Amino acid sequence: MQLLALRAQFPALEQTLDGYPLCYLDTAATSQKPQSVLDAMADFYRYDNANVHRAAHQLSARSTAKYEAVRDKVQAFVNAQRREEIIFTHGTTEAINQVAWGLNQKLDSNSVILVDTAAHHANIVPWQQLAQRTGAKVIAIPLADDGRIDQQAYQALVAQSPSIVAINHVSNVLGTVNPVQAMVAQAKAAGALTLVDGAQAVAHKRVDMQEIDCDFYVFSGHKMYGPTGVGILYGRYQQLDTLTPLLTGGEMIEQVSFDGTSFNTLPNRLEAGTPAIAEVIGLGAAIDYIANLPQAATQKREAELVNYLQTQLQQLGGITLYAAHNDNCGAVAFNLNGEHHQDVGILLDQQGVAIRCGHHCAMPLMHSLQISGCCRASIGVYTSHEDIDRFIEALSSVKAMLID
């Protein structure tokens, strides 16, 4: 499919801001949505709106069938062994909180939790809370000078037999890619449970649970051309089945009486209450959209765009790039030397260019880089070389205004 035709599938990209055509370079925060996703959600509300699993009427039967069909799509998308290993959540954050809460009984004051220094706060704070509840200790996995995880330091920490290892697949700030398969294997050999945050990976890379072999893998729909408010917790069945539910109430029960309650089997046991049905259906449409893209060509083109973006920023001058590597994925982090990142972002917005500025929910990473925050430009399947050229042109004018 030609890029122009592909971009036309995303209605939001057709708008102008203050007279400038939108140049959207904030996909790592949330992706734009193709018309097929919008239509799938609208059609559900228009024709099939009913609660799932709980009624005998035809609308509910159609709603349930569409909802559960997405579980099968996700299973195939990540190559899980069983459909029961796919748990619908409201996003990556809830998925990690479910795992962290669910492990309360498995940790004690002798336990160690290793966490990626570059992790999103959603993959830090739940482990800190688990440590407070159990007396466990959280240890940050340090970064090397190149911004990647220090593998020698990681091996030394794994040798201390941690209980849990929680890492990024792809950094939401830097775009650096962790060797998750090797790191998971090392952690498992030491007896640790492993969780991989794949929120920034699934829209750009093929993910295979049998290859990665982690115990838990989590991601969000809205970063992979789907809607907000829905995410996935993949877990190895035997590990999921021992988690204490984070939420209790309807749907996740087997029997309820005032003498006691028994819980349902997976996946229902970890899906309390009315789910985000339309959003799940939208996620299914997003998976279909990604599956219909030419995977190898798309990944090659995105890699070329990231490298082009890095090169153009370097050639502009007066720019500091952070952890810029040829194999980075989806995002480029930078600062305009001597200028506050927020000022840069606001001035770019005035020219129709949307990037992200701040600490990116990764304050420990900012501390490691010895900065308060940075700018981040990130790409999607709809990003063009012209978008990057427009961004560089706008940034050049910002640079001239602030520095030259």
User: Residue 1's pLDDT band (boundaries 50, 70, 90)?
Assistant: low
User: Residue 273's pLDDT band (boundaries 50, 70, 90)?
Assistant: very high
**Catalytic annotation on 361?**
yes
Task: Indicate which CATH number applies to the domain containing 12.
Answer: 3.90.1150.10
Look up tokens 């498992």; give the residue: 188
- Where helices occur in 79-124 by DSSP H, the ranges are 92-102
Selected catalytic residue, list 23, 214, 357, 361: 361
pLDDT at 3: 86
Q: What is the number of domains present in the chain?
A: 2
User: Residue 2's pLDDT band (boundaries 50, 70, 90)?
Assistant: confident
Answer whether residue 316 shows pLDDT above 70.
yes
- CA dist list (Å): 96 to 10, 14, 137, 217, 221: 30, 35, 17, 9, 15
Considering the domain architecture, whether residues 148 and 279 belong to the same structural domain is answered as: yes
Residue 33 domain flag: no
Residue 30 domain flag: no
Range of the domain at 42: 38-291
CB 162 within 8 A of CB 137: no
Considering the domain architecture, whether residues 87 and 106 belong to the same structural domain is answered as: yes
Contacts of 109 (CB under 8 A, 6+ apart): 134, 135, 136
Residue 236 domain flag: yes
pLDDT at 404: 62
Where does a domain end: 260, 291, 322? 291
pLDDT at 4: 84
Considering the domain architecture, whether residues 16 and 97 belong to the same structural domain is answered as: no
Residue 272 domain flag: yes
Considering the domain architecture, whether residues 355 and 239 belong to the same structural domain is answered as: no
Considering the domain architecture, whether residues 267 and 352 belong to the same structural domain is answered as: no
Task: Spell out a b/e string for 21-36, using b for 16 or more CB atoms within 10 Å of the CB, else e.
Answer: ebbbbbbbbbbbbbee
Considering the domain architecture, whether residues 281 and 303 belong to the same structural domain is answered as: no
Residue 20 domain flag: yes
Considering the domain architecture, whether residues 164 and 264 belong to the same structural domain is answered as: yes
- What is the arithmetic mean of pLDDT over 4-19? 94
pTM: 0.98
pLDDT at 384: 97
Answer whether residue 228 shows pLDDT above 70.
yes
Tens of pLDDT along 140-198?
A: 999 999 999 999 999 999 999 999 999 999 999 999 999 999 999 999 999 999 999 99
Considering the domain architecture, whether residues 285 and 386 belong to the same structural domain is answered as: no
Closest CA to 280 of 124, 107, 117, 90: 90
Look up tokens 């069909």; give the residue: 69
Considering the domain architecture, whether residues 206 and 285 belong to the same structural domain is answered as: yes
Residue 31 domain flag: no
Please give the mean pLDDT across all residues of the chain.
Answer: 97
Task: Indicate which CATH number applies to the domain containing 221.
Answer: 3.40.640.10
Contacts of 263 (CB under 8 A, 6+ apart): 245, 252, 253, 254, 269
Please state whether beta strands 356-358 and 374-378 pair in parallel, antiparallel, or not at all (unpaired): antiparallel
Residue 216 domain flag: yes
CB 289 within 8 A of CB 317: no
Using the Cα atoms of residue 230, residue 233, residue 237 and residue 238 in order, give the sign of their dihedral: negative
User: Residue 360's pLDDT band (boundaries 50, 70, 90)?
Assistant: very high
Considering the domain architecture, whether residues 266 and 339 belong to the same structural domain is answered as: no
- Where helices occur in 79-163 by DSSP H, the ranges are 92-102, 125-134, 151-158
Considering the domain architecture, whether residues 283 and 308 belong to the same structural domain is answered as: no
Where does a domain end: 291, 308, 325? 291
Residue 321 domain flag: yes
In terms of Cβ atoms closer than 10 Å to its own Cβ (0-12, 13-18, 19+), residue 265 is exposed
Backbone phi and psi for residue 376, each to the nearest 5 degrees, phi listed first: -140, 125
Where does a domain end: 291, 323, 338? 291
Q: How far apart are the first and last CA of the chain?
A: 42
Query: Which amino acid, residue 155?
Result: Q
% of the chain residues with pLDDT over 90: 97
% of the chain residues with pLDDT over 70: 100
Cα 356–Cα 360–Cα 363 angle in degrees, nearest 5:
150
Considering the domain architecture, whether residues 279 and 179 belong to the same structural domain is answered as: yes
